[in-house]
């Protein structure tokens, strides 16, 4: 090899070193992946997000109007809860004392005496009773009415629901307020006439 040829072969490397860069090392190709194995690993997918909670059933509002010549008026709010339906009743224009309240089997309050609402809602054929014992599903107990004629009552009707078409659903029935106290006697608690009635709408 002549001196000129040797100088020409080392000149590029010397220039790279002088500029601060090292000559690149030869690369070795990666061996091919075995058959059936992907050449690149899949990236980890993000964890699925939690499913949104089911919306709570909205309360059902009922307007109670006077019947049998009564000036009673009021409202009821029905809310689905674990194991039953919470019923909250508020009334005005009533006689002080205890007044029976029931869910009746027909959502029809058109009759002046509210008898169009039918009998107590009793899909399981139980005897009438107060809420703590054997009872019709629609037996709600008594409303405490104060001297000013206002009253409020709240109870969870265990076993009932607000599912349209279900045999134990309160939807499409009626809430009835009676003129006397429900004493738990047979067949309907000796509660007297019907002085208030409100249809429970079907959602």
Residues 129-157: what's their mean pLDDT?
95
**Segment among 11-20, 105-114, 138-147, 164-173 with least mean pLDDT:** 11-20
Confidence label for 193 from pLDDT (cuts 50, 70 and 90): very high
pLDDT at 134: 87
Structural domains in the chain plus CATH codes:
60-199 (2.60.40.200)
- Rounded mean pLDDT, 163-189: 96
Quickly count: other Cβ atoms within 10 Å of residue 129's Cβ: 17
Q: What is the pLDDT of residue 6?
A: 43
Model confidence at 131, pLDDT cuts 50, 70, 90, reads confident
**Please, which residues bridge with residue 152 across strands?**
90, 144
More confident residue, 147 or 29: 147
Rounded CA separation 140/89 (Å) = 10
Per-residue pLDDT for 31 more than 90? no
Mean pLDDT for the stretch of residues 112-130: 96
- CB within 8 A of 175, min separation 6: which ones? 62, 64, 76, 87, 89, 101, 102, 103, 104, 140, 197, 198, 200
pLDDT at 199: 98
Which run of H or E residues covers position 74?
strand 73-81
């Amino acid at each position: 090899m002549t001196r000129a040829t040797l100088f020409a072969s080392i000149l590029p490397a010397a220039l790279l070193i002088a500029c601060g860069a090292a000559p690149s090392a030869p690369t070795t190709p990666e061996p091919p992946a075995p058959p059936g194995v992907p050449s690149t690993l899949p990236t980890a997918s993000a964890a699925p997000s939690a499913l949104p909670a089911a919306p709570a059933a909205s309360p059902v509002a009922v307007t109670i109007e006077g019947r049998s010549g009564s000036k009673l008026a009021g409202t009821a709010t029905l809310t689905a809860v674990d194991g039953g339906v919470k019923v909250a009743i508020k009334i005005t224009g009533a006689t002080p004392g205890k007044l029976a309240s029931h869910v009746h089997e027909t959502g029809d309050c058109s009759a002046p005496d509210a008898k169009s609402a039918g009998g107590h809602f009793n899909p399981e054929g139980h005897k009438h009773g107060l809420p703590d014992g054997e009872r019709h599903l629609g037996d709600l107990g008594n409303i405490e009415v104060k001297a000013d004629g206002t009253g409020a009552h709240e109870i969870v009707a265990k076993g009932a629901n607000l599912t349209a078409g279900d045999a134990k659903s309160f939807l499409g029935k009626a809430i009835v307020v009676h003129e006397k106290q429900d004493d738990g006697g047979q067949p309907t608690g000796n509660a007297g006439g019907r002085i208030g009635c409100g249809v429970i709408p079907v959602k």
